[in-house]
Amino acid sequence: MTQSQGWQSIERREVYAATMELGHLPSVDALAEELSSVSQLPDVVMRQVARNAIDAARDMIRDGQDADPYTIALVDIDNIAASVPTSVINATGVLLHTNLGRAQLHQSTAQHSAGFASGASNVEIDLRTGKRAKRLTYLRTLLPLVTGAHDGIAVNNNAGALLLSLAATAGGGGKVAVSRGELIEIGGSFRLPDLMSASGAKLVEVGTTNRTRLSDYEKVAGTVDAILKVHPSNYRVEGFSEEATYAELATLAKSHSIPFIADVGSGLIDEAAPWLRDADRGWLRGEPGVRQTVASGPDLVLFSGDKLLGGPQAGIIVGTSAAIDLVSTHPIARAVRLDGSTIAAICDTLTMYADQRVLDIPFWTMASATIESLNKRSTAMLEGTTGARIVDGESLPGAGTVPGRTIPTRLIELPGSPDVTWATLASHTPPIIATRRDDSTFIDLRTVQTRDDDHVAAALQSILN
């Protein structure tokens, strides 16, 4: 036998072996049925997982590799199951945790919103006449009461609010002056210059990264179509810095008959936060209030609904009647409009402000929790256990708000491997999301709603005992 014939013989044997293995691959139905015993994913998902696993195994066998479609499918199932939307308990100490959904709604607000989502509603009907109505009518009644503005609307998120505002005031190539120190990048690598470009507006940079004076805006005020000031809520410029005030820019814009847009980001309604005790307001120092910004004179003021406001994800736009009419009738307003259940949740949240029940909003309930109350809850959870201890710590506001500020708290420090302990907590029902740091696992009850204390206590008892 020649060498060539030898290689051909080996190849034939490999092809024959692969063919034999391919012949023993299960059917899609058979594998899906076998997998159903280890996962509660929908049948249609399980069938697709089975199909993908069999295809992958077939390719591996043809390449001369060992392959088990069942094992391949289990990996896929684990990845999919981990992404299924589910409620978790936030024990991280980050009050507005973007990865965990930011602001938590009050239970009554969530129930009201769910009622809209699960049934018909008066989202666009006048119940007196049966005729079509505008979906934001009641919201536009509440927003002036809470913010002090003449009028207001809400859209899907604050990026949408900015996109709409820019398109309505300077779209089609209009120029917008922005400080170089405010050309921010928000989550997901989205950058302000890119958002402005998408709106059809042209960016005109003024000033420098750390110092932008009123005179810098004055130099271009006669050549631009709008002025935009963005509060950099996810970072802080300190030291040798300077910026023009909202009032100064509002006056300048009015003198040139151009709109002034103020994006204050985090949505702190009142910079004085009168609902908090004096000793609890320090972490808010320097954060612009919506009411104070509105009073300084911008045509439009933008902020998020799911940050310091404590409501659902939304972008809220308030301002003068003329400016709100302009943005609300722009075509993009339809593309970023809200559904009825979100409108209901925003209205409920705003009502809590109007009724001076701000501390009922979960974010503010958490932010105002005292060290004494947190220590008491932590101690109760550890009763009858050994190994854990209660230590001082710092909670974070989160969601890119009030950068560098923290709130004193008490932490439960758990022993053992942080990775193992964290995973054990995350596998609990419901999952409990803790923090790993300095070779320890920490639970901060500031961000755990008291109704979930029993779940956390049960998990701790299991881990520590």
Query: Given a cut of 70, is residue 388 above it in pLDDT?
Result: yes
Q: What is the DSSP letter of 211?
A: E
- Reference 390, options 431, 439, 445, 432; nearest CA is 445
Mind listing the domains of the chain with CATH numbers? 3-83 (no CATH), 89-98+365-464 (3.90.1150.180), 107-357 (3.40.640.10)
pLDDT of residue 235: 66
Q: Which spans in 24-66 are helix H?
A: 28-35, 43-62
Q: Looking up tokens 């300048």, which residue turns up?
A: 252
CB atoms < 10 A from the CB of 76, how many? 17
Q: Is 198 exposed, middle or buried (CB count within 10 Å of its CB: 0-12, 13-18, 19+)?
A: middle
At residue 176, what are phi and psi to the nearest 5 degrees? Answer: -130, 125
Q: What is the tens place of the pLDDT at every residue in 1-44? A: 444 444 444 344 344 344 447 778 999 999 999 999 999 899 99
Task: Please give the pLDDT value at position 15.
Answer: 43
pLDDT at 251: 98
Q: How far is CA 408 from the centre of its chain?
A: 23
Token digits of residue 324: 């709100």
Tokens linked to 375: 């220590």
The 10 Å Cβ neighbour count of residue 14 is: 12
Burial environment of residue 392 by CB neighbours within 10 A (0 to 12, 13 to 18, 19 or more): exposed
User: What is the mean predicted confidence (pLDDT) over 140-164?
Assistant: 97
Best CA proximity match to 455, nearest among 419, 421, 422, 425: 425
Nearest to 297 by CA among 245, 332, 337: 245
Helices (runs of H) and strands (runs of E) counted in the chain: 18, 18
Q: In sequence order, what are the residues at sequence separation of 6 or more whose Cβ sits closer than 8 angstroms to the Cβ of residue 228?
A: 166, 176, 177, 178, 182, 260, 261, 262, 263
Q: Angle at which helices 453-464 and 371-381 pack, to 10 degrees?
A: 50
> How high does pLDDT run on average in the chain?
92
* Tens digits of residue pLDDT in 232-278: 866 677 777 789 999 999 999 999 999 999 999 899 999 999 999 98
Output the CA–CA distances (angstroms, integers) from residue 418 to 268, 381, 397, 436, 439, in the order listed.
35, 19, 23, 6, 6
What radius of gyration, in Å, describes the C-alpha atoms of the chain? 28
Convert the pLDDT of each residue in 84-111 to its tens digit: 999 999 999 999 999 999 999 999 999 9
Output the CA–CA distances (angstroms, integers) from residue 179 to 10, 120, 213, 451, in the order listed: 71, 46, 9, 45
Q: Which two tokens stand for residue 193?
A: 């210059």
Please identify which residue in the block is written with the tokens 């069938």: 47
What is the band of 51 on the pLDDT scale with cuts at 50, 70, 90? very high
Residue 177: predicted pLDDT: 98
- Chain segment 180-225, per-residue pLDDT in tens: 998 988 766 778 999 999 999 999 999 998 899 999 999 999 999 9
- Between CA 12 and CA 15 the distance in angstroms is 5
pTM of the model: 0.89
Give the model confidence (pLDDT) of 342-380 as tens digits: 999 999 999 999 999 999 999 999 999 999 999 999 999
| pLDDT in the model for residue 123 | 93
CA 350 centroid distance within chain: 19
Residue 316 burial (C-beta neighbours within 10 Å; 0-12, 13-18, 19+): buried
CA distances from 215 to 170, 175, 384 (A): 22, 18, 66
Distance from C-alpha of 251 to C-alpha of 44, rounded to nearest angstrom: 61
Q: How many CB atoms lie within 10 A of CB 208?
A: 14
